[in-house]
């Protein structure tokens, strides 16, 4: 344990309010850099162990500083695992990590002719004092078939250092304004833990993204669209979570001739790297 403590010199910092916090990336690398080599490591238990070690080192640190980091750590684990799964299984879909809404407009992944339709829709709803997109999904499932991507997109990740984290965080930028309607296969929302409010957020995102897809399909006169998938994952999923995520996609019940669709197509338990591979069999399939 002495070696672990000795490696933590660079993980602590103070925020603008003077409170002790952690550097998310440095902390992740200190504890989880080699998680891909431990496919059965329990993620939720590991997070708790990390919390206890850091709080022992800095007792004045607030627990919220740690819980706020869990979401990013969880996303980086899933992103890296999906990266290797795609390469190992020659899959055409990339699971691309997305920034939050304040940093990135997810509609700009589409080619300009499609994103302009969303811009037009956004202006119309804003005229009624309504917000079109409240939050971004955590991941987009993007086709790599029609793009010439840099060589590093085909190199496996052995360990997750800060350079790899930067690569995972920025991979989506190679798809901006490049996607036709069906190049975006779907989206994935992940939460290190689920609460009722998070279930509502996931279902809302799924319903909205599917409605936007149908709007684009209609505006672009696409007669037989492939459809859009929306998935969710967490370290633990209860029967209440599964039931709550069966919410109907609102657009699918506005027309009597359409078949009702789920806002969230499936929900997966991902609490280790091996779990993620099972989920990717569905998420990254055609």
CA 143 to CA 15: how far, in whole Å? Answer: 39
Give the residue among 201, 180, 56 at the shortest CA–CA distance from 133. Answer: 201
DSSP 8-state symbol, 230: E
> What one-character-per-residue DSSP string does 166-182 give?
HHHHHGGGGGTTTB-GG
**Is residue 191 among the annotated active site residues?**
yes
Given 24, 46, 91, 191, the catalytic residue: 191
Of the residues 75, 183, 241, 275, which is catalytic?
A: 75
Distance (Å, whole) CA 76 – CA 157 = 12
Q: What are phi and psi of 116, to 5 degrees?
A: -65, -35
**166-183, pLDDT tens digit by residue?**
999 999 999 999 999 999
Q: How far is CA 157 from CA 22, 25, 67, 91, 163, in A?
A: 25, 16, 26, 16, 11
Active site residue 75: yes
Report d(CA 114, CA 179) in Å as an integer.
9
Residue 284 to residue 277: CA distance in whole angstroms: 10
CB 274 within 8 A of CB 42: no
pLDDT at position 5:
40
205 as an active site residue: the answer is: yes
Domain residue limits, the chain: 73-283
Which pLDDT does position 65 carry in this prediction?
A: 80
Question: Which burial class, exposed, middle or buried, applies to 175 when counting CB atoms under 10 A from its CB (0-12, 13-18, 19+)?
Answer: buried
Q: Given CATH 3.40.91.10, say whether it is the number of domain 73-283.
A: yes
pLDDT, position 141: 99
What local confidence, expressed as pLDDT, does residue 262 receive? 85
Residue from 25, 46, 183, 205 carrying the catalytic annotation: 205
Q: For the chain, which ranges sit under pLDDT 50?
A: 1-6
Candidates 24, 91, 138, 229; catalytic one: 138
pTM of the model: 0.92
pLDDT tens for 115-172 read: 999 999 999 988 888 877 778 999 999 999 989 999 999 999 999 999 999 999 999 9
């Amino acid at each position: 344990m002495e070696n672990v403590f000795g490696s933590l010199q660079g993980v602590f910092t103070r925020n603008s309010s003077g409170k002790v916090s952690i550097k998310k990336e440095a902390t992740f690398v200190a504890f989880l850099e080699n998680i891909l080599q431990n496919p059965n490591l329990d993620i939720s238990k590991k997070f708790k162990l990390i919390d206890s070690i850091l709080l022992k080192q800095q007792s004045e640190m607030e627990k919220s500083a740690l819980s706020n980091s869990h979401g990013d750590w969880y996303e980086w684990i899933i992103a890296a695992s999906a990266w290797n799964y795609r390469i190992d299984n020659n899959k055409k879909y990339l699971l691309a990590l997305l920034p939050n809404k304040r940093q990135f407009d997810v509609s700009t992944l589409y080619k300009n002719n499609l994103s302009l339709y969303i811009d037009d829709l956004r202006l119309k709803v804003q005229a009624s004092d309504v917000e079109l997109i409240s939050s971004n999904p955590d991941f987009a499932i993007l086709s790599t078939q029609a793009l010439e991507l840099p060589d590093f997109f085909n190199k496996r990740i052995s360990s997750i250092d800060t350079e790899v984290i930067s690569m995972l965080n920025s991979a989506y930028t190679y798809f901006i304004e490049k996607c036709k309607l069906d190049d975006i296969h779907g989206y994935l929302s992940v939460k290190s833990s689920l609460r009722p409010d998070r279930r509502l957020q996931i279902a809302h995102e799924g319903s909205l993204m599917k409605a936007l897809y149908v709007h684009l399909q209609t505006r672009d006169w696409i007669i037989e669209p492939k459809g859009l998938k929306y998935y969710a994952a967490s370290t633990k999923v209860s029967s209440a979570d599964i039931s709550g995520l069966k919410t109907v996609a609102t657009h699918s019940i506005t027309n009597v001739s359409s078949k009702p669709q789920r806002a969230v197509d499936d929900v997966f338990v991902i609490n280790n790297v091996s779990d993620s591979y099972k989920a990717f069999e569905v998420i990254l399939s055609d």
